[in-house]
């Protein structure tokens, strides 16, 4: 008997601090893969289009106040409300390129002073990424990219704390071989893109044989 096992797509995540170039690289990888015959989709968190996302957007724009824990939970809900669709896309063979995820969720909230483990708990059991491209940029270097904007969190002192917590989350994953790819974000857009493409092409091939994991931080 020939059993037709459908190949799944890869879950490729971009994480990092403000202005590190996540969206630039996520967009370029998406274009590259699409133009080279891959089945691929681009997603971004927060997803500001949903009802929850609209509240998050108002909060980030300083138009709306929320308790630190309440906004943290809303960011998590905004991921959970997309899980079924993401799972179906991956199983149907689509590679997902995701711009920020639970690692941003925990890093920004914990930087404000919330307990790290408390911050992780609502995201436990989300789909796990196959790779995290961590675009690493110091707050000083980020500031040179035109200064921080008007949104909440766009302050140098907070960004420094956020970066430290990203590294704590990386430690938590030290048993997961090569999940985190730390990229020095202070290089040319094209050089970074080239490295990201090379790695992603191998990963897509490798992941297609592996089961999907709904075990984030389990
Ligand atoms: N947040 C949270 O608290 N909890 C959560 O669960 C989640 C998020 C998911 C909004 O996120 C805020 O939400 C964010 C975290 C928090 N707060 N902060 N800070 P967002 O993703 O919507 O934020 P954004 O507005 O897209 O900004 P960004 O993601 O920080 O930027 P980026 O995507 O990393 O960078 P970029 O837009 O690609 O590039 C920034 C600039 O640098 C731009 O002018 C580029 O042309 C330039 N650039 C890019 N690459 C380079 C290189 N290699 N060299 C030189 N210049 C470059
Ligand atoms: Mg961005």
Domain extents for the chain? Answer: 11-207
The tens digit of pLDDT for each residue in 161-186 reads: 999 999 999 999 999 989 999 999 99
Verify whether ligand 1 is closer than 6 Å to residue 79 (CB atom).
no
Verify whether ligand 1 is closer than 6 Å to residue 60 (CB atom).
yes
The tens digit of pLDDT for each residue in 43-85 reads: 999 999 999 999 999 999 999 999 999 999 999 999 999 999 9
CATH class of segment(s) 11-207: alpha beta
Top mutation candidate among 71, 81, 100 for ligand 1, by most atoms within 8 Å of CB: 100
How far is ligand 2, taken at its centre, from the CA of residue 33, in Å?
19
Strands (E), the chain: 11-16, 40-44, 95-99, 131-136, 180-184
| pTM for the whole structure | 0.97
ipTM of this model? 0.98
How far is ligand 2, taken at its centre, from the CA of residue 114, in Å?
24
């Amino acid at each position: 008997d020939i059993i037709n096992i459908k190949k799944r797509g890869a879950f490729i995540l971009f994480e990092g601090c403000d202005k590190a170039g996540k969206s630039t690289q996520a967009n370029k990888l998406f274009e590259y893969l699409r133009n080279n015959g891959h089945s691929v989709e681009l997603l971004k968190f927060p997803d500001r289009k949903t009802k929850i996302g609209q509240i998050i957007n108002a909060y980030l724009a300083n138009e709306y106040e929320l308790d630190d824990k309440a906004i943290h939970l809303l960011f998590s809900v905004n991921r959970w409300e997309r899980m079924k669709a993401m799972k179906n896309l991956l199983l149907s063979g689509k590679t997902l390129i995701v711009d920020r995820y639970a690692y941003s969720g925990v890093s920004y909230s914990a930087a404000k002073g919330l307990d790290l483990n408390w911050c992780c708990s609502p995201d436990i059991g989300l789909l796990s990424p196959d790779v995290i491209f961590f675009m690493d940029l110091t707050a000083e270097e980020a500031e040179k990219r035109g200064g921080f904007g008007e949104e909440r969190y766009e302050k140098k002192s907070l960004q420094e704390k956020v970066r430290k917590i990203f590294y704590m989350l990386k430690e938590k994953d030290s048993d997961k071989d090569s999940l985190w790819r730390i990229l020095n974000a202070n290089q040319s857009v094209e050089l970074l893109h080239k490295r990201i493409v090379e790695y992603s092409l191998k990963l897509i091939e490798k992941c297609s044989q592996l089961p999907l994991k709904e075990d984030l931080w389990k």
